[in-house]
Structure 1
Amino acid sequence: MFVRTVYATGDPARLDTALRALNSQGHDLLEERPGFRGAGVFVDRELGKLLTLSWWDSAEAQANSDEVMRERRPALLEPFAASVAVEHYWVAVFHALPRPVVGGGLRVARLEFDPRDADLLADTFHTTALPHLETVPGLARTALLLDRERGRGVAGALFTDRHTLAASRAAHAAIRREGAAKAHVSVVALEEFDVVHADAHTV
């Protein structure tokens, strides 16, 4: 699968306006596009950050949806967004457990690596990080998204609620340190978000 991320920052007081538009008009637009496999909306209400992910069954389906969403996105995000960054990734790992995520929390690690180490990173995440993550209480989903050409990635872990998200920080830090060392990866940013909506259909 493939993922498009949209990362917007703006006035926290205007965040709900953008959420209402995304959850209604934005979701309808995505549902109409061929190859759409689900979406996620995540927020940091205190700082005024909004992260959305849309999942696609092919690079072509993702690219075909780009033009429509590029035209409609500004209206959906107004008047909240002061800055918007759009990125595209290949889904190297996606692992879901049968646990609810409504009201949950998302932790995101942004990664940089030598493009020649992309396969090493994917293998390390799958064989080293994933088995440890599965033992962390409250984990609902985890994924590794890669941009092989630019040597950038996103590792995300979705938890059932904010309490388990907070309680997992020490364990997750140890897993992240071991994995980053083995995969020759730099963690350049670490963020946490509240879950507004999250679904992705891999089959």
Structure 2
Amino acid sequence: MFVRTVYATGDPAKLDTAVRALNSEGHDLLEERPGYRGAGVFADRELGKLLTVSWSTSEADRRNSDDVMRVRRPALLEPFAGTLAVENYEVAVFHAVRRPTLGGGLRLTRVEFDPADADLFADTFRGTVAPRLEALPGLARAALFLDRERGRGMVGTLFADAHSLAASRAGQASARHEGTAKAHVSVTSLEEFEVLHADVRRG
């Protein structure tokens, strides 16, 4: 599968307006697109950060979706979004344990790597990191997104609730240290979000 991420920052007091628009009109627009496989909406209410992830079956489906969403996105995110960044990734690993729930937590790790090491990174995450993450209480999903050409990626781990997210920090730090060392990966940022919506359909 392939994903598009939208990362917006703005006034925390205006964040809920954007969330309501995304979960109504935005959701309806995505549902109409060929190859749509789900979406997620995640927020940091304190700092005023909003992350959305939409999943498509193929790269062509993702481009088709973006042709529509590029035009409609600014209106959906008004008046919240002061900054906006859109990125596209290949889903290299998708490891589902249980269905995420509203009010759960997302930990997002942004990484950089030599493009020549993309397959090494994916194999290391699949064989070493994912099994260790699965042992963390409350894990719902773990996914690895890759931009092979630019040597950038994102690791997303979803937990059932805020308590599980907090309790997993030490365990995931250990798994992250081992995985990045084996795959020659550099971590560039680490963030946590509240899960406002998360739905991915396999197949």
What TM-score bracket applies, with the shorter chain setting the length? over 0.9
Partner of 1:90: 90
Contact 2:2–2:62 at 8 Å: present in 1 too? yes
Partner of 2:125: 125
**Aligned-residue identity in percent:** 71
The number of aligned residues is 203
Distance 1:24 1:150 in 2: 33
Q: Tell me if 1:177 matches 2:177.
A: yes
| TM-score computed with the length of structure 1 as normaliser | 0.99
Partner of 2:163: 163
1:138-181 Cα offsets, whole Å, 9 max, x none, are: 00000000000000000010000000000000010000000000
What amino acid is aligned across from residue 102 of structure 1 in structure 2?
L
1:3-54 Cα offsets, whole Å, 9 max, x none, are: 0000000000000010111010000000000000000000000000000000
Contact 2:37–2:56 at 8 Å: present in 1 too? yes
Partner of 2:28: 28
| TM-score computed with the length of structure 2 as normaliser | 0.99
Structure 1 gaps of 5+ residues are none
**Cα shift at 1:99:** 4.2
Contact 1:42–1:197 at 8 Å: present in 2 too? yes
Partner of 1:55: 55
Distance 1:110 1:100 in 2: 21
Aligned residues: CA RMSD: 0.6
**Cα shift at 1:98:** 2.4
Distance 2:42 2:151 in 1: 24
Distance 2:70 2:90 in 1: 20
Distance 1:76 1:153 in 2: 26
Partner of 2:7: 7
Distance 2:32 2:171 in 1: 40
**Cα shift at 1:100:** 4.1
Contact 2:4–2:87 at 8 Å: present in 1 too? yes
Structure 2 gaps of 5+ residues are none
Distance 1:159 1:101 in 2: 8
**Cα shift at 1:58:** 0.1
SS of 1:79's equivalent in the other structure is: coil
